[in-house]
Amino acid sequence: MIRRAAATPDSPTPGATEPAPALVATGLTVGYRGRTVLTVPELVVPAGRLTAVVGPNGAGKSTLIKAALGLLPSTGGAIRLLGEPLARVRRRVAYVPQRDAVAQDFPVTAVQVVEMGRYPHRGWFRRLTREDDRAVSEAMLRTGVTDSADTPLDELSGGQRQRVFLARALAQQADLLVLDEPFAAVDTSTETRLLTLLVELCEQEGRSVLMVHHDLRTVQDHFDHAVLLSGRVIADGPVSRVLRPEHLEAAYGIPMPSRADSADRDAHSATPPTADGTDRTTEADVEGRAPARGSAASDPTAPGSSASGSSASDSSASDSPASDSRASDSNAPDSDTPGSDSAGSGPERTG
Ligand SMILES: Nc1ncnc2c1ncn2[C@@H]1O[C@H](COP(=O)(O)OP(=O)(O)OP(=O)(O)O)[C@@H](O)[C@H]1O
């Protein structure tokens, strides 16, 4: 189990300056064609953490992310990213859309897609600098797609394509990465490798990752923080507190005993059994950071990995791989008219 050494929002280092939260939503309502599908009275996603957005199909996970990135207008409320309005932090926010939302047959090679991650820094028509080239190479290496650099996008497997889009987000060197189910179609070992990479981004580089993910086991094992949605925020905070039976049942509508037992155990006793029978978990462990980290090697380039990732650079990036990451909020992927009425009661703040 890897423990986070850095101070957490729950226990800041005395005298240290707290980074602005990755995301703050206040009084947010979002919907489509007059129907509100998500209501978020208040939500704070801390900086420097790996945060999962979880919930059943149709819970509003993608809607939250699109609203945060200005891809979908909200009918009410406000969102700040990294302490600023979206317009001020576009370069600092990278987006990897859902796999299905990306045009897979766009006539570009893998490296050309990754280079798009540099456009927010250089613009579309400026030549890439050595610094850009370095960022692109490093991103491809870290995601294990170097060997596919000159392969046309439509000749890559689904998992390889997703890795390419994740590389694009990395190349942008953004402070906040927003990922919508980036591991769909990714094999298990690659998922673990990429999760390890995301953990490194948070722990070693202080970046923030907000990621829609369905596998609650993975969330429990690798993530620091979670936001559980079901048309509203059911719970948000440290993972072990969010993935509790009552929250999961409220969100998914059915009892989820195994997950609940485990999460409940962490949240309440903070004394998971160890091999030698000793208790090494403290209350601080439960409060602050990732409960467990993957044990897989962090080198995603190892043979056999065939994962994925799709990304758009700027917060305004559309879901097309060739989309201009400088595009404005009006580049929403759809033109749905937001709804007006709200849903649900307030969230349980567990953090
Ligand atoms: N373009 C759209 N037009 C109209 N309604 C939409 C649109 N996109 C999503 N919705 C509706 O909004 C609600 C939330 O959808 P959203 O895609 O945010 O859910 P999700 O939690 O991401 O689901 P999933 O896990 O299936 O990806 C659903 O009821 C869905 O039908």
Q: What is the CA radius of gyration of the chain?
A: 19
**Tens digit of each residue's pLDDT (9 = 90 or more) over 118-141:** 988 776 667 888 999 999 999 999
* Mean pLDDT for the stretch of residues 148-154: 93
- The rounded mean pLDDT for the chain is 74
Nearest CA residue ID for atom 6, ligand 1: 32
Q: How confident is the model at residue 240 (pLDDT cuts 50, 70, 90)?
A: very high
* Mean pLDDT for the stretch of residues 337-344: 32
| Distance between Cα 231 and ligand 1 center (Å) | 10
What residues form DSSP beta bridges with 226? 52, 237
Q: What pLDDT shows up at residue 289?
A: 34
Share of the chain above pLDDT 70, in %: 66
The number of the ligand 1 atom at minimal distance from the alpha carbon of 64 is: 18
The number of the ligand 1 atom at minimal distance from the alpha carbon of 66 is: 18
Spatial distance between the Cα atoms of 219 and 225, rounded to a whole number of angstroms: 9
Pairing mode, strands 23-32 and 76-81: antiparallel
ipTM surpasses 0.95: yes
**Tens digit of each residue's pLDDT (9 = 90 or more) over 251-304:** 999 887 554 454 444 444 333 322 333 222 222 333 333 334 333 222 222 222
Checking if the pLDDT of 9 tops 90, the result is: no
Spatial distance between the Cα atoms of 155 and 144, rounded to a whole number of angstroms: 16
Burial class of 51 by CB neighbour count within 10 A (0 to 12, 13 to 18, 19+): buried
Question: In testing the pocket of ligand 1, which one of 28, 30, 33, 57 has its CB within 8 Å of the most ligand atoms?
Answer: 57
* Mean pLDDT for the stretch of residues 39-47: 96
Checking if the pLDDT of 229 tops 90, the result is: yes
Checking if the pLDDT of 23 tops 50, the result is: yes
Q: How much helix, strand and coil, in percent to the nearest 5, is found in the chain? A: 35, 20, 50
Residues 6+ apart with CB under 8 A from 120: 90, 91, 172, 313, 314, 325, 326
Checking if the pLDDT of 76 tops 50, the result is: yes
Question: In testing the pocket of ligand 1, which one of 57, 63, 71, 74 has its CB within 8 Å of the most ligand atoms?
Answer: 63
